[in-house]
Amino acid sequence: MSGAHTSVPVAARVRRLEERLIGAGVVTQEQLDASLAAMLQGASPVNGARIAARAWSDEGFRQRLLADANAALPEVGLSMAGGIQEQRLKVVENTATTHHVLVCTLCSCYPVGLLGPSPSWYKSEAYRSRVVREPRAVLAEFGLELPNDTAITVSDSSAESRYMVLPRRPGGTAGWSEPELAALVTREGLIGTAAV
């Protein structure tokens, strides 16, 4: 895991851990590189957008997705496998009264395969610390002004568990196809810093 972020404390710690694992013969650098390449192959916000569009179009899929996202993902040709272990995915749904936003307060855990590489602001210490303390203010800085009576829930990802927001379906989209609906969904909407 070499590259531009090796000066970041978390990246340096990860690199030291990688070196220890390689030194102990647990894994080779080639295996680590192959795992990373497999994880990033096909990683795109388009995947998350497809999931949201299917959930908006198919009530049964939406219910299965919210109940057990890992079990529902294969229905759209996706999974949370690809690394050393399968990560647990929890999809949280925005409603008229509740809005979800995602963070990883410890580092930058994030469902890369479904949302593509994480944006730089998601990894920043400012976002990670502030969104937990003052989510409404942070969302407003992203241009998302929510009514005062909308509850905001912050979901904290971890090494084992990832989250994805299911945005509210935009009005006026009845009868739209899944590809048309998917084109409306942004990575920020799947993180919760945008409405869609």
- Residues annotated catalytic, as ranges: 104, 107-109
Torsion angle of alpha carbons 142, 148, 151, 153, nearest 10°?
30
Helix (H) or strand (E) holding 22: helix 9-23
- Contacts (Cβ under 8 Å, ≥6 apart) of 69: 80, 89, 90, 91, 164
Collapsing DSSP to helix, strand or coil, 34 comes out as helix
Contact call for residues 181 and 57 (beta carbons, < 8 A):
yes
DSSP summary character for residue 78: -
Question: What's the helix, strand, coil split of the chain in %, to 5?
Answer: 45, 10, 40
Cα angle value 12/14/16 (rounded, 5°): 70
